[in-house]
Structure 1
Amino acid sequence: MSPAALPPRAVERIVHHVYESCLFRIEAPGCRTHFCSPAAPCKVARDLLSPLANLKLVAVSWNAAVHAFQQTKYPRFFGDVEDGYYPHAWHINTRMRKAVLLARYRVFRTFTSEDGNRGVYVAHDFGGAGGCAAARAVVLKAWVSATDFECQREIAAYRALGACPGVPAPRIADARHDPLCDVHVLVLPKLGPTLEDLRAALPDHRFTPRMVLTVAIEMLDRYRDIHARGVVHSGIKPGNICLAPQNSADAPSALYAIDFGFSTALAANAQLPSAHRIDAVGNRRFMSVFAHHGISQSQRDDLESLAYLLSYLFHARLPWASDGKPRSPRAQQQHAPHVWRIKLATPAAVLFRDMDACFLEFWHDVKGLAYAEVPDYDRMRARFAKCLEMQDGDGKAPLNWWDLWEEKARGRK
């Protein structure tokens, strides 16, 4: 019997058999788990499956069987993937798991935050020469539409920031569209845990004075470089500050700023705020008072938000969010006064209670800045550095975030 005369079912069984033989019986050592798919195989799988591809040349029925097989979600490919249930086909989570993204990324975990699901995922990148055996973790940010407000802000910010220290550099310069999943994806390197992760691992969920001072120094360095490139972050919170990648060339105390979806461009010659009201965006616990009122933001707003963050890390609470969690818009309407009113009414002595005087001096410097005035970052940083030096004494090594994280991780086991 000629190959063309075989029944379609027989052809399909042969295709499956050849597939199993090629990929899972003679595959390369160390490549027992695959994150790719029949439609988008990694390099190792592609080389091993070349006999299956050659079967497409035998007859039209074989070509159809191979093509149909490539469109199936073959279960052996998706063994080590997050098991999530998303009932709506239109939901971004459902789309991100519909197929392999951009022919090389397979989502296996969803990032969730206090603001809900923001379309951020961890994925296997199997696009290298080693295939799935050498897959590494990357972060994917996804949007349904390229015109999405946060998508456009994020792309514009990364273009302006370029090789800014302490800011992750996208692996793809733009948000690339994936036709199979119908999403726009930005690929970023996987960094270390966030300060929120570290805070949650601490017994009392509070940073020590030494840790808070280190955060102050690092974030002043970050904002000096970010502002110098004409970008206002507008997104500071513990979940948006990450440890540097482990075993990287960064200093052990280095921190990274992430999530520029709410960022704005700093107008070069704007001496006055915009005459038009700006939509209030960002985390309401940490945004500046002016941001609450829709006043366009500048360098001082990022530093005001940093001051709130430092107080929060030390006290594990803020006067306008006593339980440490933000209120929903409905709850904010039901519980007067609004956050911005409490911020205005809170004395600096309360905000920085039991903290070193350098924090109070930092607050006065920030509140004394005019719109778009360039802060004296070096003087602010030197004040915190002097305080840290007095605490550490002679010969004490700089704070190592990864050592601290691993110590706390061992304590939780």
Structure 2
Amino acid sequence: QFLYFIGACRSRNMSNDVRVGHGRFKLSRRIGGGSFGEIYKAVDTQTKEMVAVKLEPASAKVPQLVYEARVLQFLQRKCVTVGVPDLRWYGSEGDFNIMVIELLGPSLEKLFTYCDKRFNAKTVCMLAIQMLSRLEFLHERGFIHRDIKPDNFVMGLGKRAHHVYIIDFGLAKRYRDPKSGTHIPFREGKRLTGTARYVSTHTHLGVEQSRRDDLESLAYVLLYFSAGSLPWMGKGGVKGDKQEKYDRISEQKMALSPETLCKLQPRPIYEFLLYCKSLEFAQQPDYDMCRGYFHAFMEEEYHTCDFRFNWITHRETAGTRSVASMSSVGVNSSRQVTIDASDGGALSEL
């Protein structure tokens, strides 16, 4: 049944009653996928809520789904989480590993594209404040993410449409021992983990990642949102030569100072990147101070944190328009949606 489901049911609408999670989740249609597997929209037959179901072949060379589910389970243990997907179920059935989470909105990458690849300073600051809080929570729980990029931050839906969520914990790693609290040791000669465009300079140099690297990656994401691109984009080498691509990106990234990178960009991005560059391997970041850079700038510019992000104002200016390739849980899809400003920017299906 699962093999038929994956092989033949890639169309928008499901013609068969396919269920997972011991029959609890009824799948409706595919909303995305990639090298890791497939993602489907489904209904929780117990609560009648819509959810997202991630499927990964059990035979995957590097299975990540069960690990990701366990990370989510740990993050939600004994605490109320904001901006982390609610895990509903995980396990294995047939030939697949399965994880079910709450249905979320489009990724920041999709929203950035919708806004013609440019966010204004107010939107960048409002996003930065929330994204820093998500990383602070993750780090407080003893994990680093190791793949900070616009695709791995998504917006909520409905009453949580103004909440930024951090997703995809398949590459997350403990940076301290859960019992002793001891920080992992400094190591060199590590392979690049993450997305080359956004990884820190230390990661390019083969240094073990720690909290500082998540923050530096976030600084590059914010710079990308503000400037519309990064200087090392399009610096790939010979097609198929991944290492040459990494080397070229690394060379450009290290050759440019924070002052040069952030020239003509809002001051807090420069302040934040400069701070990230100053952090030692095991140093505890000052998240409050980092958020303060962005809060102070907003106050100086007489901006309020009203969650009127660029995609809200863009929709109001342009009128209701279809947004191609935006989807739930930050994955690729051909589904068309509209931005509903009256619901805080939530998605409405056409």
Higher strand proportion (structure 1 or 2): 2
Higher helix proportion (structure 1 or 2): 1
Q: Deviations over 1:107-136 (max 9, x none)?
A: 512424xxx44324122225237xxxx562
Find the residue that maps to 2:171 and give its secondary structure: coil
- In structure 2, relative to structure 1, the CA distance for the partners of 1:320 and 1:126 (3 Å cut) is same
Q: Which has the higher contact order (CA 8 A, sep 6+)?
A: 2
Please report the RMSD computed on the Cα atoms of aligned residues, expressed in angstroms. 3.3
Name the counterpart of 1:106. Answer: 27
Shift of 1:165: 2.0
Question: Does the 8 A contact of 2:143 with 2:174 survive in 1?
Answer: yes
TM-score of the pair, normalised by structure 2: 0.76
TM-score of the pair, normalised by structure 1: 0.66
Name the counterpart of 2:92. Answer: 177
Q: Deviations over 1:212-247 (max 9, x none)?
A: 111111111111111000010112111111112222
Shift of 1:149: 4.5
Question: Does the 8 A contact of 2:10 with 2:29 survive in 1?
Answer: no
The letter of the residue matching 1:188 is I
CA distance in 1, matches of 2:11, 2:293: 53
Q: Deviations over 1:279-317 (max 9, x none)?
A: 322111111122234322111000000011011111121
Question: Does the 8 A contact of 2:54 with 2:100 survive in 1?
Answer: yes
Shift of 1:78: 11
1:140 is aligned, of 45, 54, 65, to: 54
The letter of the residue matching 1:118 is F
Question: Does the 8 A contact of 1:199 with 1:207 survive in 2?
Answer: yes
2:82 is aligned, of 165, 169, 172, to: 165
Count of residues in Structure 1 that have an aligned counterpart in Structure 2: 308
Gapped regions of structure 1 (runs ≥ 5): 1-38, 40-71, 84-96
Name the counterpart of 2:299. Answer: 389
CA distance in 2, matches of 1:78, 1:111: 9
1:363 is aligned, of 240, 261, 273, to: 273
- In structure 2, relative to structure 1, the CA distance for the partners of 1:327 and 1:217 (3 Å cut) is farther
CA distance in 2, matches of 1:349, 1:389: 23
Gapped regions of structure 2 (runs ≥ 5): 323-350
Shift of 1:366: 0.9
Shift of 1:259: 0.5
Shift of 1:153: 3.8
Which deviates more, 289-298 or 140-149?
140-149
Name the counterpart of 1:192. Answer: 105
CA distance in 2, matches of 1:372, 1:335: 29
Find the residue that maps to 1:362 and give its secondary structure: helix
